[in-house]
């Protein structure tokens, strides 16, 4: 049995609707990989602050890193760290500016769960044969959002947006004392298609970012005296141009 598997036909769902909601109960995982996931989840307790939030807010923390993925072999290579950029036409709050985020830890880059989940998600996208002939860049983000009685937490402060990738996968990594956080998916005309909530760790959604928009509602503490926490592991998949490997030294 593969290290991660599911009986759900995610590829068909994305092809038909543009997105697929995958519950944690639909996933099967080896014991070894589950231990690697537990090791990875520790990283969320020590993420640096996101310094690019509107109004100087302090509710989001993150790291990110880049990989080269070979569809032909399944090989993953670490890419050099670089600044993060989204255009203003897909992100109206922090788009159009260069953002400097801390890189993933070395242990995170090497984590077997992270690497296997990148491959698992990629294998579920409805790709044409020609899209499998060239390598892809995968951006992996560890993001934690918090809230308390003095400050809401906004998983997507930019509101309805795109990530600027071909495909995106979002996995719930942590949910503590939290209400809110509902995810909404929109079509290309920004008409609402569906709304759902990630409830259990590793509840996930995968979608075609080139044709859909998405957003997540603010979070609030369920018990006012304690902090709310919502963390995600997300992968952005970008196809590359043949021969464009000048920066890929990893």
What's the pLDDT tens digit per position in 44-95?
Answer: 999 999 988 877 788 999 999 999 999 999 999 999 999 876 566 655 555 5
Its domain, for residue 167, covers 4-239
Q: What is the DSSP letter of 43?
A: G
Query: In which band, very low, low, confident or very high, does the pLDDT at 242 lie, cut at 50, 70 and 90?
Result: low
Residue 249 within a domain:
no
Total domains in the chain come to 1
Helix axes 31-41, 112-122, angle to 10 degrees: 110
Residue 246 within a domain:
no
Query: In this predicted model, what pLDDT tens digit does every residue of 162-177 receive, in sequence order?
Result: 999 999 999 999 999 9
Residue 175 within a domain:
yes
| Region 25-41 average pLDDT | 95
Residue 33 within a domain:
yes
Residue 247 within a domain:
no
Residue 248 within a domain:
no
What's the CATH number where 96 sits? 2.60.120.620
Q: How many helices (H) and strands (E) does the chain have?
A: 4, 16
């Amino acid at each position: 049995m593969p290290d991660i598997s599911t009986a759900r036909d995610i590829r068909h769902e994305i092809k038909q609707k543009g997105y697929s909601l995958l519950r944690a109960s639909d996933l099967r995982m080896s014991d070894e990989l589950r231990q690697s996931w537990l090791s990875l989840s520790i990283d969320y307790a020590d993420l640096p602050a996101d310094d690019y939030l509107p109004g100087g807010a302090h509710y989001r923390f993150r790291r990110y890193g880049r990989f080269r993925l070979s569809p032909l072999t399944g090989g993953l290579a670490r890419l050099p760290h670089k600044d993060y950029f989204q255009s203003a036409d897909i992100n109206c709050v922090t788009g159009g500016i260069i953002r400097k985020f801390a890189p993933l830890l070395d242990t995170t880059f090497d984590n077997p769960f992270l690497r296997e989940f990148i491959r698992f998600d990629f294998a579920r996208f409805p790709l044409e044969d020609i899209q499998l002939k060239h390598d892809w860049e995968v951006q992996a983000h560890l993001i934690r959002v918090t809230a308390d009685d003095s400050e809401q937490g906004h998983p997507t402060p930019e509101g309805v947006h795109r990530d600027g990738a071909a495909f995106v996968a979002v996995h719930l990594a942590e949910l503590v004392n939290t209400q809110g956080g509902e995810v909404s998916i929109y079509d290309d005309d920004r008409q609402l298609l569906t709304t759902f909530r990630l409830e259990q760790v590793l509840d996930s959604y995968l979608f075609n970012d080139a044709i859909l928009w998405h957003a997540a509602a603010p979070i609030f503490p369920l018990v006012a005296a304690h902090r709310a926490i919502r963390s995600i592991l997300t992968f952005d998949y970008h196809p590359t141009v043949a021969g464009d490997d000048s920066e890929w030294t990893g």
